[in-house]
Structure 1
Amino acid sequence: MKCLLTKDTMAAIDQAVADGVDVINYSIGGDRTNLTTVSAAAKLRAAQAGVFVSVSAGNDGPTASTIGTPAPWVTTVAASTYDGLSIANGIEVTAGPLQGTYIAVEGVTSTPLNQTGDISADVVVAEPLLACAELTNSAEIAGKFALIQRGTCSFDIKIAAAEAAGAAGVIVYNNSAVAPIPMGGTGSFGIPAVMTTLAAGSAFNAEITGGGVVNVKMSPSVFVDDVVEVGNIMAGFSSRGPNLSTFDVIKPDITAPGVKILAGASSQPMLAPPGNSFTYLQGTSMSSPHIAGMAALVKEVHPDWSAAMVKSALMTTARQNVTKENGVTPADPFDFGAGHAVPNKATQPGLTYDIANNDYFAFLCGIGNSSFVVNTTGSTCAQFEAAGYDTDPSQLNLPSMAIAELTGAETLTRVVTDVSGSGSVYTATVEAPAGVDVEVITNDGANQMTVAANASVAYGVKFTPNANATIGQWVFGAITWSNGVHSVRSPIAIKVESPQLIVAPAVIGGEVKAKSGRLSFQVDMRYSGTTSASVVGVSAPFGSTRTVTQDPDRTFSFNEPGLGFHAFLVPEGTRVARFSLNEALASVPGADLDLYVYRCIALSCSAVGSSAASGGNEVVTLRDPAPAANDAAGDFYLVFVHAYDLLGATEAEYTMPLWIVDAQESTTRIVASPRAIMGRSNIVTVMTSNLTASPLPYLGVASFKDADGIEHSSTLIEVFANQ
C-alpha cells in the first residue's frame, strides 16, 4: 500500500504536461504487473504528448522480477556505482597493528552517533559470524562492539541479535569488494551500527581470531577523505528483470549512478540521522534523475524528438562495461537493460527507434488490457488489429528485443529512422544468444541496410533455437548497426521453451441441456504417442453481495471509502478464478460499476486484473492464478467494486458472481482418444449432467498431457445450462 495518493500523482503528471514540460522524473516505485494504474496511465498520456518520463526501477534487488512501473512508454532506470572520490564517515582503531581510520557508513535504523556521542570499545567477532540467529557468545559481546559479516539475512536481524546479546554497537563488514552502504530496514535499535569494507572487516576478524585486540572508537567527527569509489558495478539493491507485466519487453531500460550520491537533505529526516544539510543517498530514486537530466540535454539538442526517440538515443549509445554487484560477473540486460548511459553520445545516435501513440494501445491489447484500451480510445482491440496494428508485445518498436517463449523460428521486426541527416549504409554485428541462431533480414541482404537521410527503414531479426539451446533459461545477446561513425546497439533476451506438442483452443463455450449435454472440439497433435485428457469443473458460480456509494471524483483508489470490498482464498491448483458484475444483479439499473482485483501476500497487495468498461457488465478472468490462501498470514485475493456512475443514486446494492475452480465435479467428465498422431486432430468431448439451468455459465478447464504426464495445453470451458 503506498502512502502517496495515486490521484495526486496523476494530477501532478497531467499538470506538468499541461505546463509544457519536456521531461518528468518519477522517483517513486510502481506496480510490477499492472500498466493501467492511474499513475501509469498518466505517464502514458505524458509520453504521447512528447514528454520523456524517467522512473526508478525499484530497490528490491538483486531478486529477479522486482521492476516497478515496467511500462514501455517510460524509461526504467537501474542503479550502479561511479568512479571518483568521496568523503565517508569512519571508525578509528586506536592502537595496535591495525591503528588507523576506516570507512564506516551509519545504518538507517540504528541510533545515530550524533545522539550517542563518542563510544569506544573492544571488538568481538560474533558467533555465528552472519548473526542470522541468536549469538552464542553473548557473554563476550556484552558491552563490546559485535563484528558481523553482511549476507544471508537482513540487517534488522543482525543488529537485533547483537543488541539482544548486550553489544554496545555493531560493525558489519561487507561480503564483497563494493563500497559499504547505509544499512536499511524496518526496525529501530538503541545502539549504533556501521558498515565497513570487506578488507577492513576481514583484517579485524583475522587480528581478533589470532589473539589480538582491536579497540574501536565510533564518533560522529571521524571522517575518511578521498575515498576511492569503484564505478561500473550494479547496486545490489537495484531491482532486476525479467519484467512481470510481460516477459517480452526487457526491463530495466538503462542504468545510471545511484550509489553514494551527494544530495541536499532535511535537517529533520524521517529515516536518517538528523542535523545534516547534505548527505549521501542511494537508490534508483537517485539514478532516475540522472537519466532525466540526460534526456533534457538530448531534448535541448533535438526539441522535435518524441519521448521514444530520446529513450532510443540513450539506450542505443549506452556502454556495457558494468558488472553485477559482486564486481566480477558481467551484468546482463535484466540488470542494466541496454547498459550505462553515455550522455554526449546520445545526442548523436545516428538512428532511432520511434513508437507511434496507437502502438502503445496495440501493445496493451496484447497483454490483456482490452478494457483500458476501449475506455481510453473508444476503439476495441479487434478494431486495432483490423487496422493493421501488431498486438504482440515483442513486436513493439523498442530499441531492445525479447522473446519469452521461443519454441521455433520467430522473426521480430524493427523500424529505424535516420537522425544524422546523412544517408549511409549500416552493417549489423550480432552477438547471438547461446543456443539460438540469428539471421538478419534486410532489403540489401548480407547484414547490410541502406538508410537514406531522414528516412525510415524496416529490418527483421529471425531467431531459431538450435540443438545447443537450454530449455527454460534466459540467454542474452545484442545486435549493433554500425556505419563507421555511429554504433546503434540493441540488447536481446531470449528464453527457449520446448515446442508445444499439443495445441488446444484457449476457450470453448456453448449451451447444453441442464439434465444432460455435451460439447466437442478439436485438439491438434504435433507428435505421435500416447496422450491423456482431464477436466476440472465445470463449476457453478457463487455470489457475494455488498453496497457501494457514489465516488464523487469517479476515480478509483485502493481501499478508498465507499468501495465494495470482497476477500477470497484462492488455493494452490486453482485452474481458473473469475470475478464478474452483471447489470441485472444491481439495484440501480444501468449503473456503471467497475472491478479491480488484487493478490495480497503478507498484506502487501498487487493488482492482477481490472475491468472498467462502460456500464455495469464487467469480468476479470485469471487462468492458473498464483495461490493466496492463508488469511492468518495475510495471503488472499481482494476484489473492489467501484461506483463510477450510479446515475444520480447515492448508493447501490449488487451481487458479484464469482468462480474459483480447483476440483473436478461429479457432474462433468471428459472423453478423448489416448492416442496422439502427428499432424492429426483428436476430437474431445466434455459431457455434463444434472446441472441447474441458469443465465450464468458453468466454468471448467480441460488439460491435455503427453505420455510423461506433462501438460502442454489447456482449454477454458464455459457452459450455459438451459432447461
Structure 2
Amino acid sequence: MYKVCGDETCDSSAILAGLDEAIKDGVDVVSVSLGGDARISFEQDPLALGAFAAVSKGITVVCAAGNHGPTPISVTNDSPWVLTVAAGSMDRSFAASVYLGDGRRIDGEALNQLAAKTSSPKRYPLLYSEVEHSCQFAGDLGSVRGKIVVCLATNTREQVSQIQSVMDAGAAGVILYNLGDNGYTTIVRDYNSSVVQVTSADGAVLMDYATSSKNNTTAPSASVTYNNTLLGVRPAPVVAFFSSRGPSGLAPGILKPDVLAPGLNVLAAWPPKTTDSASTGPFNVISGTSMATPHVSGVVALLKGLHPDWSPAVIKSAILTTSDAVDNAGGTILDEQHGKANACGRGAGHVNPVKAADPGLVYDITADEFAGYICWLQSTHTNATSLLDSTLPCATLPKIRTEQLNYPTITVPLRPTPFTVNRTVTNVGPAESTYTVKVEAPSTLTVHVSPETISFSKAGEKKTFSVSVSGHGVTGQELIAEGSLSWVSEKHVVRSPVVAVVEVGSPPPAPGRTSTQH
C-alpha cells in the first residue's frame, strides 16, 4: 500500500512517486481509487502518466470511474491503457419494512438493526413536515415525540446529529427517503438509531400518506419491522446513481467506463481512528467507485496468476468481453431510475471472474500502440505538449486514431455514413476453433462485420476483421446508440459493445483529484 493523499487532496508528485515505487517493487496490479479532473489531458495527468509507465512494464492499472454521476461526460481516469471501473449494487439488502396504517407495505433498508431486538410492530403516528423536511427541526422538538418522522435524506454528516436530536426528543423512529436523482440507489448509513431508508418513489408515497389526514378522518400511522440481511435480491446489479458516466470527454472513441463491479454498500476494512470514519471498529459499509475498483483489481490478480504471460490489455479484454450484459432477473442491467442502463453507465457489463479466466479470444494492445495513439493526439490537438515516453518518439511510431486502437469495445462517431474500424483478435482458447459473428443492433444503428466467420488452427493465432457502423434516426437527448458484436464458437461467446456516440463538446467541470469514496 502506498500513501499518496493527505486529508483532502492528492499531490501529483506523490501519485507519481507511489506509482514509481510500485513499479520498482515488482507488483502485478495497481489498484487506484482516486478521481480527478475530467478535463486534464492524458499527457498532463500524473495518474495517466504513471499508469502508462506501469502498463508499459506489464502491470495492469485499475482505476475508479469517479462519483459524479448520473451526469453524462463525467467519467474520470479514462485513458485507454487503464481499466476504469463503474459502481453497481449487489444482490444484498439490509432489509426493513414499513407498514402503513392503510395496509400498504414499503420495503427499505436499515444498516443499524440493533433495534430489531427490542422493536415490535407497534403502530405510531406518522409525521412529515414540509418546513423541516430534512429533519432540521429548529427550537421545540415536542412535535416529534412518540411519532415516526419522515425526512429527506441529505447524505450529510450534519443530518446524523439532526436525527440524533429527533430521537433524543422522543421520536419513535425516522424514515429517510432518497433525493429524486438517487432513484433506487440507497446508500445505507449507520445513524445509531431506528432509521429506515427508502427510495425516492416510496418517499413520495410516504409524504402523500403522511399529509392525507387533511382529507381523511383516520390519522396516518406506521410500524416498522427489521428483517436482517437478505440475499438474492432482484434486480441486481443496478448502476448506482453516483457512478460517473461516459462518454469520455478526452477520448470519445473509447468506451468508458470499462466495466461494472460492486460498489454500493460494500463491507470494507476501515482504519478505526481516522477523522473521516463514523465507525469505531475495523469495518465500515462504504459506497463509491472506490469500492468497485478493488473488486476488479482482485479479478486481475486471479487472471495474472492463471495466465502470467498475459499483457494488461489482454487481461482487460478478457474481463470486458466476458462481462454479464444481464442482471440476476435475466433482464437488461438497469440504472438508478430502473430504466435501461446504457454502455456509458455500465461499460461492457458486470464483471464475471469465472468467465474471464477463459475468454476464448482476446484483443491485445502494445505500449508502442498506445504511444502511437498519443502521437495522433499531438497531431490533432494543440494542447498536447509532451510524449508519455520520451524513448518512444513519434517519428518512429505509426499514428493511431482513438477508434482504431485494438480495444475490446468498439466506439465510433454517430454519423449517417459508415465509419469503419479494424480489430485483431488472438486465439487463447482451443487450438482448432471457428467463430461466427452475431450482431445485435437497434433500428437506428447499422453494423456490418467482415468476414463473418473466422477460423483458427493453433493457439496464439491472430485474425483481423473490420466493422462498419452508421447511425440514423436518433432523436431526443440520447448521447449514444448501441448494439453488440459477439464472436460465437461451440465453447465461447466473445462479446463487444458497439457504441456510436453523438459528437459533443467539452466535458463539464469536475473537482480536483480526491479519493472516490462516496
TM-score, structure 2 normalization: 0.77
Residue deviations 1:69-108, cap 9 Å, x none? Answer: 1111111011111224x556x79999998999973347xx
Q: Does the 8 A contact of 2:176 with 2:196 survive in 1?
A: yes
The answer for unaligned runs of 5 or more in structure 1 is 107-112, 114-119, 499-598, 607-723
How big is each residue's C-alpha offset from its partner over 1:659-702, in whole Å with a ceiling of 9 and x where there is no partner?
xxxxxxxxxxxxxxxxxxxxxxxxxxxxxxxxxxxxxxxxxxxx
In the TM superposition, residue 464 of structure 1 has moved relative to its aligned partner by 2.7
**1:628-668 per-position Cα deviation (integer Å, ceiling 9, x unaligned):** xxxxxxxxxxxxxxxxxxxxxxxxxxxxxxxxxxxxxxxxx
Partner of 1:502: none
Counterpart check, 1:376 vs 2:389: yes
**Aligned with 2:267: secondary structure?**
strand
Q: Who is 1:9 aligned against?
A: 15
SS at match of 2:278: coil
Q: CA deviation at 1:67?
A: 1.1
C-alpha displacement at 1:420, in angstroms?
Answer: 1.5
Residues of 1 paired with 2:193 and 2:38: CA distance? 35
- CA distance, structure 2, for counterparts of residue 308 and residue 298 of structure 1: 12
Mapped partners of 1:316, 1:18: distance in 2: 31
Q: Secondary structure at the match of 1:69?
A: coil
Q: Which residue identity does 1:398 align to in structure 2? A: Y
Structure 2, unaligned runs of 5 or more: 116-122, 328-332, 514-518
Structure with a larger share of its residues in helix: 2
- Which of residues 280, 283, 302 in structure 2 aligns to 1:297? 302
**Counterpart in 1 of 2:176?**
172
Distance 1:208 1:366 in 2: 62
Give the CA deviation at 1:406: 2.6
The corresponding residue for 1:311 is 316
Q: CA deviation at 1:361?
A: 1.3
From 239, 246, 253, give the equivalent of 1:248. 253
Higher strand fraction: Structure 1 or Structure 2? 1
Partner of 1:339: 349
Structure 1 residue 421: Cα displacement: 4.4
Distance in 2, matches of 1:301 and 1:64, equals: 37
Q: Name 2:484's counterpart in structure 1.
A: 478
Aligned with 2:50 (options 42, 47, 71): 42
AA matched with 1:27: S
CA-to-partner distance for each residue in 1:354-382, whole Å, 9 max, x for gaps? 00111111222333364221x7325554x
Aligned-pair Cα RMSD in Å: 4.2
SS in 2 for 1:371: coil
Q: Work out whether 1:488 is the aligned partner of 2:494.
A: yes
Deviation at 1:135, TM superposition (A): 9.3
- Report the CA distance shift for 1:438/1:59 in structure 2 as closer, same or farther (over 3 A): same
Q: Does 1:124 align with 2:127?
A: yes
Whole-angstrom distance in 2 between the partners of 1:431 and 1:99: 40
User: Aligned equivalents of 1:335 and 1:601: distance in 2?
Assistant: 19
| 2:496 alignment partner AA | S
Give the whole-Å Cα distance in 1 for the aligned partners of 2:195 and 2:475.
43
Assess if the C-alpha contact under 8 Å between 2:321 and 2:494 holds in 1: yes
Q: Percentage identity across aligned positions? A: 28
**Alpha-carbon deviations, 1:504-524, whole Å to 9, x = none?**
xxxxxxxxxxxxxxxxxxxxx
Mapping of 1:350-389 within 5 angstroms?
350-367=360-377, 368=381, 370-373=384-387, 376-377=389-390, 381=394, 383-384=395-396, 387=397, 389=398
Q: Residue in 1 aligned with 2:219?
A: 212
SS in 2 for 1:376: coil
2:290: which partner in 1? 285
2: distance between equivalents of 1:344 and 1:411?
A: 33
Q: Distance in 1 between matches of 2:289 and 2:195?
A: 22
The answer (yes or no) to whether the contact 1:406–1:497 under 8 Å persists in 2 is no
Q: SS of the counterpart of 2:385?
A: helix
Could you tell me whether the CA contact under 8 Å between 1:177 and 1:197 is conserved in 2? no
Task: Pick from 295, 317, 334 the counterpart of residue 324 of structure 1.
Answer: 334
Q: Are the structure 2 counterparts of residues 177 and 600 from structure 1 closer, same or farther at C-alpha, using a change threshold of 3 Å?
A: closer
Contact 1:366 1:391 in 2 (8 A): yes
Q: Deviations over 1:214-259 (max 9, x none)?
A: 4789xxxx96423344421111111111111121111000011111
The answer to whether the 8 Å contact 1:123/1:216 transfers is no
Change (3 A) 1:487 1:92: closer
Deviation of 1:336 after TM superposition, in Å, equals 1.0
Write the mapping of 1:288-687 to structure 2, written as runs, cut at 5 A: 288-322=293-327, 323-326=333-336, 328-367=338-377, 368=381, 370-373=384-387, 376-377=389-390, 381=394, 383-384=395-396, 387=397, 389-406=398-415, 408-442=417-451, 447-453=452-458, 454-466=460-472, 468-470=473-475, 473-495=479-501, 604=511
Give CA-to-partner distance per residue, 1:608-633, whole Å, 9 cap, x none: xxxxxxxxxxxxxxxxxxxxxxxxxx
Which of 209, 217, 227 matches 2:230? 227
Determine the structure 2 residue equivalent to 1:78: 86
Rounded Cα–Cα distance in structure 1 between residues aligned with 2:14 and 2:105: 54
> For the structure 1 residues 392 and 92, does the alpha-carbon distance in structure 2 shift closer, same or farther, using more than 3 Å as the test?
closer
